[in-house]
Structure 1
Amino acid sequence: MITTILAVMIQQLLSLLAPMLLGAQLVLTLILVKGDICPGQRGRIHKVLPVVALLWLAVASLKIEAIMLVFAILYFYSQVQTKKTRVQGPLWVIYLANGLAFAYVGIVISEQPSIVGSALKVIEIFLLGALFSHLLLTIAKTRLQAFHRILPVTGIVSAMLLSIVVLVKSAQIEPNLLAEHTNMLLSGFALMITAVLIWCWHILLSKTVHKIQLWVAFTTMLVSMSFIENFIVL
């Protein structure tokens, strides 16, 4: 019984990774291509790419097609330096990885049983993608201060859109079924609001963002999205 529950929880978490990784890849690509970053920052951003590849490998346990993204990202990583460098490397590989990610997530969105479910997956690209990329950029010690505000604001807007989606879903559910799952829904919302507040804490207090803060926000957000996804599939 416990093994079954754990397996279901792991599968739910894995289902969140693909939209999240697509959003994160787009942010990292934008910074690597257009960002005004010094050689040291570029090298540190290159260092976090294996984390993205490793998570795509986890996604491949659900759909083997994701393994192509692992190869693409690791190939790019093998062609660039992780020390101070101005060399952008073979950017066509990053574009290829982004295209593959778009295709993969597009298939996931089309497989959702309802429009509400599809909308949820689209929002996850921005919500989870912005939070995860913010975490990676903080670990990479980026000096692009604008992103420390832009990404949390993206999260706030995405959370608002997610609330609308959940309200639409609530209107479609039978009252008895809605009453049975109210606690799950409220738990998901409470955790999501908590995650957003932790994520934006440095803005509220006008302080420097810290990776521990983002780790806590990221973990809380993943748990909240698991609750919300369970509600959406009712």
Structure 2
Amino acid sequence: MIQQLLAVFAPMLLGAQLLLTLILVKGDICPGQRGRIHKMLPSLAILWLAVASLRIEAMMIVFALAYFYSQVQTKKTRDQGPMWVIYLANGLALAYVGIEIGAQTSIAAGLSVLFQVFLLGALLAHLLLTIARTRLQAFHRILPVTGVVAAMMMSLAILLKAYGLESDVLTSVTQPLLTSFALLITAIVAWAWHLLASKEINKGQLAIALVFLLLSATSNQALFVL
């Protein structure tokens, strides 16, 4: 169970890193917001450290993020820091996930890892941006919509994999599949709840959505190894 959970961390972290990098480079953020985003980087490094228990190569990403964090301010700052280091971390993460995609046993399994970059990555980034109290209001609408589209693509990948299974195997995984879909739908509803109810975004809502989404993705891992 733990290994299955850690397996979905890498695409999630890659997606979150790419989005945070985009905001640091292109985002219209004030010095205070930049410093608060910098404070989110250790959480990514800690999660990559957990991934390193599966593949030691992930330690290179940990070192890159840690070095970048050591070179930037976490208070008000206009300094972007040594962005080449964060680019290096992103490149290493991309290579790691690319290897994971190539190692999958089927096209559907590879697609599922790819879609996790957008689905889990967008949600983790949304949570971190909310904790950092950024004022990028457009992302509160864009990221949930991205999640809905990615969830649809993930569902298609699951159905593609299920279509190729023998009838007796499919019968044995039907219940886990239904549970996974229920968790996925719950996560998406929780993620987009502020849009549905016309309320302010809440980090608690995003944390709950992330938990449900991780449970759904972990449940799917058992299907894709068949």
Could you say whether these structures have the same fold, taking a TM-score greater than 0.5 normalized by the shorter chain as the test?
A: yes
Q: Give the match for residue 4 of structure 1.
A: none
Q: Give the match for residue 178 of structure 2.
A: 186
Of 124, 128, 141 in structure 1, the residue corresponding to residue 120 of structure 2 is: 128
Q: Residue 232 of structure 1: CA displacement?
A: 2.1
Q: Indicate the SS of the match to 2:39.
A: helix
Query: Matched residues in 1 for 2:4 and 2:155: separation?
Result: 20
Of 181, 187, 192 in structure 2, the residue corresponding to residue 200 of structure 1 is: 192
Q: Give the match for residue 58 of structure 1.
A: 50
Q: Residue 90 of structure 1: CA displacement?
A: 0.5
Q: Residue 136 of structure 1: CA displacement?
A: 0.5
Q: Give the match for residue 71 of structure 2.
A: 79
Q: Indicate the SS of the match to 1:141.
A: coil
Q: Residue 215 of structure 1: CA displacement?
A: 0.6
Query: Matched residues in 1 for 2:220 and 2:27: separation?
Result: 34
Q: Indicate the SS of the match to 1:181.
A: helix
Asked if 1:106 corresponds to 2:116, the answer is: no
- Give the unaligned 5+ runs of structure 1: 1-8
Query: Matched residues in 1 for 2:164 and 2:91: separation?
Result: 34
Give TM-score, length-normalised by structure 2: 0.99
Cα root mean square deviation, aligned: 0.7
Amino acid at match of 1:27: L
Q: Residue 226 of structure 1: CA displacement?
A: 1.0
Query: Matched residues in 2 for 1:82 and 1:20: separation?
Result: 24
Of 194, 199, 202 in structure 2, the residue corresponding to residue 210 of structure 1 is: 202
More divergent stretch after superposition (169-178 vs 186-195): 169-178
Q: Residue 99 of structure 1: CA displacement?
A: 0.5
Of 130, 137, 151 in structure 2, the residue corresponding to residue 145 of structure 1 is: 137
Query: Matched residues in 2 for 1:139 and 1:42: separation?
Result: 13
Q: Give the match for residue 88 of structure 2.
A: 96
What's the CA shift string for 1:88-139, capped at 9, x where partnerless?
A: 1100101111000111111111111111111110000000000000010011
Of 36, 40, 45 in structure 2, the residue corresponding to residue 44 of structure 1 is: 36
Q: Residue 166 of structure 1: CA displacement?
A: 1.2
Query: Matched residues in 2 for 1:188 and 1:120: separation?
Result: 13
Query: Matched residues in 1 for 2:196 and 2:224: separation?
Result: 31
Q: Residue 168 of structure 1: CA displacement?
A: 1.1
Amino acid at match of 1:86: R
Asked if 1:176 corresponds to 2:135, the answer is: no
Amino acid at match of 2:167: P
Q: Residue 178 of structure 1: CA displacement?
A: 0.7
Query: Matched residues in 2 for 1:170 and 1:58: separation?
Result: 30
Q: Aligned residue pairs: how many? A: 226
Query: Matched residues in 2 for 1:55 and 1:105: separation?
Result: 14
Query: Matched residues in 1 for 2:91 and 2:176: separation?
Result: 35
- Give the unaligned 5+ runs of structure 2: none
